Structure 1
């Protein structure tokens, strides 16, 4: 007998070789029907795999992320079976699950020879997948020796699987079979194909084998599946909404930004509307940071090579930096980070413990050489404007300072209506000290423990992720979700125990001895580029009034009311409200429709009645007609809305 420990702490005995599915059945048949996979001692397994020793067990159903991953990976195998049926001789590279924000499901990279797929092929493959799913074939796991595996794929003439086998150790090789399809795979998989009820093959793309453009281009098929049609329909509807909210589409429609080949890829031209948003965000940041005791600084866009050798950016970050410029026998680099410049500002004069914490901030312009294939609208650019700051403190001050930064994030979340977020505590990998990470094992442990304690003590939701720290210390990556559930990485909050040593920074402590400060790097609003991209999609271009490039449009119903329109315009401008007149020779209905499409928060429709009464008929974006109001009353109300940064 073996002992199985369940998540609630209960311990039950089962026959050796029992599976997670057997355990589920012993609890209830209804639960067993929902189980897709299992976590055995923290490792995701097939629900049907025999358990031969005492173990902790968690049954995974559709609501678990690991279950979805297993479901979609099994769906990739089902699609491969359909492809093999339709295109005999097809060869398969890799077919992983995808769960990246709104992009969910799976893909498979396939060598179809000279065959090019089209939309009709996808529809036929969908039908075949549905037919195969209904057969409810079991996903069968078998262990193979390396020699057996090599022999199998040599006979099939499959160079792709033979290549994968080169890096696998004997005794670790497994095959999975469902129906007529067998594949080299480490799993896990769902119990049987019958769980796959709703199928949609989304698109076809090209993908170079191993991602190397020197290799053959394979056909990549993307798909998504669900355990019922309702969830698939809801997901497809969400994707349609996401297309409407795509920041690249809205950025063009609303004249927020432009990109130009003669300027260069990844270099954003901010148009007047986008510049208004930038200025409002900077105003918010400056108000918040001033209240929190930050001093503002300004630093140059480039610096000599020596400072980046000192900081470590050149050895660790060289591939992401622009090539150097040579002047007067010296190499200069466009700055990829503001940090080294800020360290020099800290070091401009001697500090004592009374000067700490020392907080400095700027919206610094940085340049990073992102690869051409990685550039993406505002989300991945080569010139970025960062809401950057550095806090220099001692160890006693660290917890309060780190907590205050996290509280600043949460304040911003409330302002922008971000309801879902999580902090990713990114840790180092001890095996990579001296390579990817600075070789200070004791400092790594100390600072990681300090950050973790702050998060726990403040009840901040967080997850831990190995091998994603900055090279100089642990960090928090802030993950947020837009109004439609799309995930974004907003910004970071980083601990740096290394730069103080490298730059020989010090302050005089209470014992009149030199001490190296801890440094916190933080950027709560990230960069203008990424954050405005997020806001465009989050608000679907319908910015709250305080952030909207144009806050009010005045719509006279004919030219004879233009004098009154100009009077209103001047009063609005005197109240610092961004407004304009639509003086086109168009019917008022068209003016209203166009203003709705331009996503202007307020419209003031004026005619003879409004002019005679000193009023305006107010229309609110998304709410329609609010009735006539005295102009002074309207200005008071909208001014309060702007001042409070109301949503």
Structure 2
């Protein structure tokens, strides 16, 4: 007998061998029709899979959670939650099934298709194919039509478990050499493997899947095709990655496609070129940003603003080198933990006349924190010295795969607005709160008030973390208490999102068209200062050595990524205080050029970033050009203005707002800059999709 415990804590008895579908049907026919999957004892399951699977010793199921009374009665207990379209897990399950349907459609239309991986992402799914014929958008209608036929056929997803040797044999018979290799290398420790079949299509896959293709519905769309490499290795097979998305509701799909169109209009790579903000040269290297003068103005303005805030909050500026000995990062744990995302070590053995590996080895700096730690450690510290707050706009380097690079938002070299605080245990709450408040202040100054705070905690089953569990528990409790005391918006705890050395609070900002970006972060660290790592100390009031606590914080994160996000958020139309060109003087005719230049000079002397257009072109053409250049204000001057000392102010958003004395116009602009006013009009309005963190770990 099996006792099923439902989410409302009610209990129902079933015979052994029942599935979640049987449970749903036992509750109501409507629930059975709506059900697409289940959560069984916290684990996602296919709807028709048995709730309890027999084991080799003749017993079955999990009994750890079974009550003594149930065990004495020979029964087992299992917690079951039936998943329908309304549940948050449902969309990902459906999209993974849609990826299989897309692959099935491609194989029907093309010969000799090699299958790689078909995972979901937070905004859709993709499948990597090995094909002789290049796919293009012209192929999309035919693929979508074939997918519609498969969905209409309502073919059931059937799971089968086979021994490892049988799995290899099946993939060889199917002619899927990439799957064979993956089984033999990537899944070397698996004794049995699972396959899913719908109709004639069979694929190696962990699952989970919806019951049948009909549950996908009609709200799916192919989006784009791109190049990819087998397992992300540029030396391996070239693949074609077909991107798509799917929703349960057609309106949600329409809203998402509308958002995509708006995102294309705001693409920072396009606007960055049009507005002359940055460039990337393949001669310099992929993922390395060259800031053009106008883009440099934005970055410098942000840095100057932050430097004022840092001084006001008691930070000391420091500078550190762009490389360090590999031993430094071995102590911190960044090497080898981050080795896959780092540039290869620089080995000086040959230069020093030594055998390979015997000389000094250096790394391009992947993080600033080990360098700041060594600055703290450069002299003895007393409790009277704490907190020590060290800040740096430090450049770091990460080796991102070429296929993952994306303009300014995914790069190989970037500058972090980094700072590290070394404090006593008693100072942690105030210091952490101060870091959160600074991040809030910075976001507010940019009009980015729509954000949520994600507390990244350790996954108890994860193996990437350094330090003892009890230390992690203390750090997480401290962080959570501070955040709860501040009543932060939409705060959530997510296991597995912590840094490898400590828990963190991430600010996830929603831009004006509904997309989410993880920007500022504050991290609490009890591990790097420990004796097992850097052995940091300060002398306490008791004259004994004590270990400080470390806080890592970056309100913006990467300057490159942050500016890339700002370009898209504002669609290139920056608020006045941040705009590369704040105003442009436009002359009605050549007769007012002398006065126009006088106005321009006075604005420059007042600290404004201003240019003048003194060409003989018509005024309307000059205005249109300034509008297209997204200049916040235009100051039009004619002969009458020259005689009266006025300017006619034209607002990019509001249009002509009339003539006024030059001093009054300058005061208006100065007030707007001082207040850091954000007046941009938000476009779009599509519902926000979750942030896309890339593919999940699936076959």
TM-score, normalised to structure 2, is: 0.82
1:302 offset after TM fit, Å?
4.2
Relative to 1, partners in 2 of residues 1:192 and 1:541: Cα closer, same or farther, differing over 3 Å? Answer: same
CA contact (8 A) 1:60 1:67 kept: yes
1:105 aligned to which of 124, 127, 131:
124
1:584 offset after TM fit, Å?
2.4
Distance 1:156 1:331 in 2: 47
Relative to 1, partners in 2 of residues 1:81 and 1:332: Cα closer, same or farther, differing over 3 Å? Answer: closer
Distance 1:14 1:414 in 2: 55
1:443 aligned to which of 463, 467, 471:
471
CA contact (8 A) 2:345 2:361 kept: no
- What is the CA RMSD across the aligned residues, in angstroms? 3.2
1:324 aligned to which of 330, 341, 346:
346
Q: Which has the higher contact order (CA 8 A, sep 6+)?
A: 2
CA contact (8 A) 2:467 2:501 kept: no
1:146 offset after TM fit, Å?
5.1
1:398 offset after TM fit, Å?
1.4
Relative to 1, partners in 2 of residues 1:38 and 1:279: Cα closer, same or farther, differing over 3 Å? Answer: same
1:535 aligns with 2:566: yes
Partner SS for 1:488: strand
1:588 aligns with 2:611: no
2:153 aligned to which of 131, 135, 144:
135
CA contact (8 A) 1:365 1:383 kept: yes
Distance 1:628 1:28 in 2: 72
1:347 offset after TM fit, Å?
3.2
Relative to 1, partners in 2 of residues 1:225 and 1:469: Cα closer, same or farther, differing over 3 Å? Answer: closer
Q: Which residue of 2 aligns with 1:624?
A: 655
Q: Which residue of 2 aligns with 1:192?
A: 212
How is 1:401-440 mapped onto 2 (pairs within 5 angstroms)?
Answer: 401-418=431-448, 419-427=450-458, 432=463, 436-438=464-466, 440=468
1:387 offset after TM fit, Å?
0.8
CA contact (8 A) 1:427 1:475 kept: no
Relative to 1, partners in 2 of residues 1:151 and 1:380: Cα closer, same or farther, differing over 3 Å? Answer: closer
Distance 1:183 1:260 in 2: 41
Q: Which residue of 1 aligns with 2:203?
A: 183
Q: Which residue of 1 aligns with 2:421?
A: 391
CA contact (8 A) 2:453 2:505 kept: no
What per-residue deviation string (whole Å, max 9, x for no partner) do you get for residues 135-175 of structure 1? Answer: 33333344455566555445434434444555388885444
Distance 2:234 2:550 in 1: 41
1:122 aligns with 2:121: no
1:84 aligns with 2:115: no
Distance 2:562 2:644 in 1: 43
Partner SS for 1:351: coil
CA contact (8 A) 1:140 1:177 kept: yes
1:353 aligns with 2:383: yes
What residue ranges of structure 2 are gaps of 5+ in the alignment? 53-75, 353-358, 679-699
Distance 1:542 1:499 in 2: 42
1:365 aligned to which of 380, 389, 395:
395
Q: Which moved more, 1:325-334 or 1:581-590?
A: 325-334
CA contact (8 A) 1:325 1:333 kept: no
Number of aligned residues: 637
2:665 aligned to which of 610, 634, 637:
634
Distance 2:360 2:189 in 1: 50
CA contact (8 A) 2:455 2:503 kept: no
CA contact (8 A) 1:130 1:199 kept: no
How is 1:214-363 mapped onto 2 (pairs within 5 angstroms)?
Answer: 214-303=235-324, 307-308=328-329, 310-317=331-338, 320-321=342-343, 323-324=345-346, 334-363=364-393
1:579 aligns with 2:610: yes
1:361 offset after TM fit, Å?
1.3
CA contact (8 A) 1:358 1:392 kept: yes
CA contact (8 A) 2:266 2:568 kept: yes
Distance 1:140 1:315 in 2: 41
CA contact (8 A) 1:469 1:475 kept: yes
1:127 offset after TM fit, Å?
0.8
Distance 1:245 1:623 in 2: 21
Q: Which residue of 2 aligns with 1:41?
A: 41
Distance 1:321 1:144 in 2: 40
1:276 offset after TM fit, Å?
1.4
Q: Which residue of 1 aligns with 2:69?
A: none
Relative to 1, partners in 2 of residues 1:41 and 1:358: Cα closer, same or farther, differing over 3 Å? Answer: same
Q: Which moved more, 1:366-375 or 1:115-124?
A: 366-375
